[in-house]
């Protein structure tokens, strides 16, 4: 599939950020991170008992012992279909059960067959396809081989550690546990600022190191406002995965923000390997890279005794079991697809969701919403979706409308849909504690709220003031909550109203680190510390169920801020409360590319920045850049100046109009990529190391100038959007400007054929009804375009059918063969037809006009 690459021209300007780092913990201030990070690389204190192992066709299980404190664990290694190994470790006869995430995996992974190829008292080697895993007994470690190449080693540095549950020692006891308490006062209870964490079950941290011999770089661990390759954290803060409400976050930082996806990929030209740490508790990850100058070479020696490059990761979580997946690759696309096979893919979104979204906190009233859309039409600018932030509600009470400002929501929605537009409204998980508010009264009466450690209802502070939080771990809460989206409950809504789940980290303004205390209790007795990073996912699952039951024939659209592994199955994400600054524009690409590698392709950033007022140049450049991210939404803080694109000068409006029309022209490409993501698991946007290991040839999409591999200095004006088609690609576009994507559905296609040096090209196109689930019943067209031997052909990839009026209006061929005199179309319906052609010497393009063939029909066009 052809892929777009956009290179924004960015100028870094100064910006004063408001994030208060002191409100958030460092590793040193987090007792479990301080404790687990304090272990130094050494010979492991853990041993496997290989004298009493249990073998099945798919797994091996035995006992693991910490010989220092004589604690015992069960460990299993199993094979998962698709070249994946799974390692699970849990306590034997633990004092309390330990939490396993409930929502990240897309069902139980499919087991594959393992065979024993070598066994002794010291080790056992198991094979699955061309993958092998060797478990070493003393000291404990696991080596993973692809063919004969060692590609990963678990516990090579001896940092594996599992804090088993135990009873809290009394003050007069003088034993090992009491000594630990003296060494780390935060082990059994912990304070941060004015907040106290009672830790009723005591220390329960788990940690492991995994090393990747030969790897040059590591990627993954979204969400962080950092560059795409992961940095070495030696001497600095580890990457933190803990969903937090951090407004105006710092860039180039390992600080936690809104999402937590604990997957990492280690890459080298020879092989790429992945590691998924299936744990929902607060997690810190140290990255060590031998190619960085401050890293000791002893890391490499611990692995293989050689001086090759190596990357190592040290995962540390506060609680839960160890559930680890090693993704064996061998290429970047293989490991990402292997991860997708575990956590699932984004379902095909509705077509309109890929168009332009207009939002701010807040549109004043229903007339404001109508007028904004009208001004887009007056200025010939497309927009598909209007958004409403929290002020549309009656006093911040969700599932209600302000009785004055939004007194007739049904009429407002009808006004939008009559012009082909949709509406998105915000629904957060905090519930206003107000007598008479039906949702609060129902939740109190039916025990739907998260509890304090003493069993009383937890009360925090958020936008409504005093609030409590729905406990989506209770199945009765999900059943109740999904019913709130029904049209007779959420009055004024329709099939064309969709949902924005915000503040669901969860955000608690007066809570520790602006979130929920860890010793709060969820349904099933789980502490919030066990489930924190998964909470937002449970929220979006409830919303997804509500929308699918409300509108069973429509694909849901949900945007979520908090997210975890697996969130892609239910919602899109955005990069949160960014700032009107060039650096925040630049980092949006790295952040969304990292999310895509972590399974979450449907990602974007607030155009113009949420906080602050962008200057006119920055705003224009942000629109031009946002064309090439999957989710395209403008959004702004309530205190910012209005910045709808039609409010500016004619020059500025024209540049933004061109950018928006370019986005709409490429909607068929975005839609096709999302369909292919659902069937293959490949990311919709991909960094160059993933897709193009070697330099490739590119065509400028505006003037069709050819750029071969290597570096180029290209002059760029404000009117220039620097983007390229890769040589060898065929892109299907819809170039007729419309005010909304819904009005484009029957428009014709222009096929852009960018030939490679072999004079060949190919591409795909997906067509269906743009909205329903009927594509899962084979009601679609999935086409393959191919150009070779001076002939363009179109054929069905899948033997399906879908009636459509869409047809081919033009074909544009970049760098065509010399001496073309004409073109001949051949199809079953039209027979053999000579077509009009013209050649533009300035941009070296051949244009074939009005083939007129329906896209549903196979055809060929031969140049002569």
719 is catalytic: no
What tokens does 155 get? 């516990």
Neighbour tally for 17: CB within 10 Å: 17
What tokens does 228 get? 């795409």
What tokens does 515 get? 């979130």
What tokens does 417 get? 């849909």
Spatial distance between the Cα atoms of 219 and 267, rounded to a whole number of angstroms: 8
Q: Are 504 and 512 within 8 A, CB to CB?
A: no
Spatial distance between the Cα atoms of 292 and 217, rounded to a whole number of angstroms: 10
How many Å is the Cα radius of gyration of the chain? Answer: 28
- The catalytically annotated residue of 577, 581, 606, 747 is 577
What tokens does 708 get? 């071969």
- DSSP class of residue 249? P
DSSP string computed for 291-352? TSTTS-THHHHHHHSS---EEEEEEEESSS-EEEEEE--SSHHHHHHHHHHHH--PPPPPGG
Burial class (CB in 10 A: 0-12, 13-18, 19+), 111: middle
User: Residue 614 in 3-state DSSP?
Assistant: coil
Spatial distance between the Cα atoms of 567 and 259, rounded to a whole number of angstroms: 10
Q: Residue 193, CB half-sphere, CA atoms under 13 Å: how many? A: 12
User: Residue 558 in 3-state DSSP?
Assistant: strand
Tokens 């633990």 sit on residue: 94
Spatial distance between the Cα atoms of 698 and 605, rounded to a whole number of angstroms: 26
**159-165-170 Cα angle (round to 5):** 115
Burial class (CB in 10 A: 0-12, 13-18, 19+), 220: buried
Q: Are 675 and 737 within 8 A, CB to CB?
A: no
Spatial distance between the Cα atoms of 782 and 797, rounded to a whole number of angstroms: 6
Burial class (CB in 10 A: 0-12, 13-18, 19+), 475: exposed
Spatial distance between the Cα atoms of 767 and 752, rounded to a whole number of angstroms: 17
Alpha helices in 86-185, H assignment, sequence order: 176-183
Spatial distance between the Cα atoms of 285 and 314, rounded to a whole number of angstroms: 5
User: Residue 71 in 3-state DSSP?
Assistant: strand
687: left (phi over 0), alpha (psi -120 to 50) or beta: beta
Cis peptide before 701 (omega within 30 of 0): no
Q: Are 714 and 699 within 8 A, CB to CB?
A: no
Spatial distance between the Cα atoms of 270 and 290, rounded to a whole number of angstroms: 17
615 is catalytic: no
Spatial distance between the Cα atoms of 64 and 75, rounded to a whole number of angstroms: 6
Nearest to 522 by CA among 429, 442, 440, 433: 429
What tokens does 7 get? 């290179």
Strand order through the sheet with 558-560: 603-604, 572-574, 558-560, 497-501, 422-426, 385-388, 356-358, 632-634
Q: Are 630 and 354 within 8 A, CB to CB?
A: yes
Spatial distance between the Cα atoms of 443 and 480, rounded to a whole number of angstroms: 9
Tokens 């005794």 sit on residue: 305
Cis peptide before 139 (omega within 30 of 0): yes
- The catalytically annotated residue of 334, 502, 530, 747 is 502
Greatest extent of the chain over all pairs of C-alpha atoms, in Å: 98
Give bridge partners of residue 383 from the DSSP assignment.
none
Residues taking part in catalysis: 502, 577
């Amino acid at each position: 599939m052809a892929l777009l690459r956009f290179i924004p021209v960015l100028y870094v300007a100064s910006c004063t950020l408001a994030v208060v780092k002191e409100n958030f913990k460092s590793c040193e201030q987090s007792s479990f991170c301080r404790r687990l990070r304090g272990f130094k690389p050494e010979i492991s204190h853990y041993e496997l008992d290989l004298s009493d192992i249990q073998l099945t066709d798919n797994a091996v299980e035995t006992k693991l012992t910490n010989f220092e404190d004589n604690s015992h664990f069960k460990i299993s290694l199993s094979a998962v279909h698709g070249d994946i190994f799974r390692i699970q470790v849990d306590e034997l006869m633990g004092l309390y059960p330990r939490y396993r995430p409930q929502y990240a995996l897309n069902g139980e992974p499919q087991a594959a067959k393992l065979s024993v190829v070598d066994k002794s008292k010291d080790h056992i080697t198991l094979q699955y396809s061309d993958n092998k895993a060797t478990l070493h007994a003393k000291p404990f470690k696991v080596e993973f081989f692809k063919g004969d190449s060692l590609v990963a080693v678990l516990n090579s540095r001896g940092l594996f550690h599992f804090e088993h549950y135990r009873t809290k020692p009394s003050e007069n006891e003088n034993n090992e546990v009491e000594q630990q308490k003296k060494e780390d006062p935060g082990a059994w209870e912990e304070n941060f600022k004015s907040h106290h964490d009672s830790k009723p079950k005591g220390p329960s941290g788990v940690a492991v190191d995994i090393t990747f011999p030969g790897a040059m770089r590591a990627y993954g661990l979204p969400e962080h406002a950092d560059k795409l390759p992961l940095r070495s954290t030696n001497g600095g803060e580890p990457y933190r995965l803990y969903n937090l409400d951090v407004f105006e976050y710092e860039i180039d930082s390992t600080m936690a923000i809104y999402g937590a996806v604990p997957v990492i990929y280690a890459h080298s030209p020879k092989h790429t390997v992945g590691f998924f740490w299936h744990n929902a508790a607060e997690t810190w990850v140290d990255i060590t890279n031998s190619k960085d100058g401050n890293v000791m070479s002893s890391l490499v020696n611990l692995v293989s005794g050689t001086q090759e490059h190596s990357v190592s990761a040290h995962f540390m979580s506060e609680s839960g079991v160890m559930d680890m997946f090693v993704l064996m690759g061998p290429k970047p696309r293989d490991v990402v697809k292997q991860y997708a096979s575990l956590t699932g893919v984004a379902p095909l979104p509705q077509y309109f969701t890929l168009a332009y979204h207009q939002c701010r906190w807040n549109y004043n009233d229903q007339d404001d919403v109508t007028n904004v859309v009208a001004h887009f039409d007056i200025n010939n600018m497309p927009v598909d979706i209007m958004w409403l932030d929290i002020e549309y509600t009656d006093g911040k009470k969700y599932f209600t409308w302000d009785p004055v400002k939004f007194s007739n929501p049904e009429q407002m929605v009808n006004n939008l849909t009559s012009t082909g537009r949709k509406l998105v409204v915000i629904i957060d998980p905090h519930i206003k504690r107000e007598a008479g508010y039906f949702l609060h009264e129902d939740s109190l009466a039916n025990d739907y709220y998260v509890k304090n450690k003493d069993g009383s209802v937890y009360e925090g502070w958020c936008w409504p003031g005093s609030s409590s939080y729905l406990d989506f771990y209770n199945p009765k809460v999900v059943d109740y909550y999904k019913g709130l989206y029904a049209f007779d409950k959420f009055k004024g809504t329709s099939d064309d109203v969709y949902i924005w789940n915000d503040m669901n980290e969860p955000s608690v303004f007066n809570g520790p680190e602006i979130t929920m205390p860890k010793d709060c209790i969820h349904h099933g007795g789980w502490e919030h510390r066990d489930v924190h990073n998964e909470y937002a996912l449970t929220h979006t699952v409830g919303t997804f169920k509500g929308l699918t039951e409300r509108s069973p024939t429509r694909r849901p659209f949900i945007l979520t801020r908090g997210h975890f592994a697996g969130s892609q199955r239910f919602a899109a994400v955005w990069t949160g409360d960014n700032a009107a600054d060039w650096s925040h524009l630049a980092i949006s690409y790295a952040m969304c590319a990292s999310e895509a590698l972590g399974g979450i392709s449907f990602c974007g950033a607030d155009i113009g920045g949420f906080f602050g007022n962008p200057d006119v140049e920055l705003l224009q450049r942000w629109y031009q850049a946002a064309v090439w991210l999957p989710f395209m939404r403008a959004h702004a803080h309530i205190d910012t100046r209005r910045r709808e694109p039609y409010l500016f000068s004619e020059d500025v409006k024209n540049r933004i109009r061109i950018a928006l029309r370019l986005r709409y022209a490429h909607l068929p490409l975005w839609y096709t990529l999302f369909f292919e993501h659902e069937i293959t698991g490949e990311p919709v946007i991909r960094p160059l190391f993933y897709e193009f290991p070697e330099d490739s040839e590119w065509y400028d999409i505006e003037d069709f100038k050819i750029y071969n591999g290597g570096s180029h200095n290209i002059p760029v004006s404000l009117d220039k959007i620097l983007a390229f088609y890769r040589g060898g690609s065929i892109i299907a576009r819809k170039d007729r400007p419309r005010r909304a994507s819904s009005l484009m559905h029957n428009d014709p296609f222009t096929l852009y054929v960018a030939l490679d040096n072999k004079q060949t090209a190919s591409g795909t196109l997906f067509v269906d009804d743009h909205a329903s689930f009927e594509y899962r019943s084979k009601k679609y067209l999935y086409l393959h375009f191919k150009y070779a031997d001076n002939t363009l052909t179109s054929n069905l990839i899948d033997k399906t059918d879908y009636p459509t009026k869409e047809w081919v209006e033009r074909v544009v061929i970049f760098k065509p063969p010399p001496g073309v005199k004409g073109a001949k179309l051949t199809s079953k319906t039209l027979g053999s037809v000579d077509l009009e052609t013209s050649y533009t010497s300035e941009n070296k393009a051949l244009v074939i006009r009005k083939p007129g063939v329906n896209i549903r029909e196979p055809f060929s066009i031969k140049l002569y």
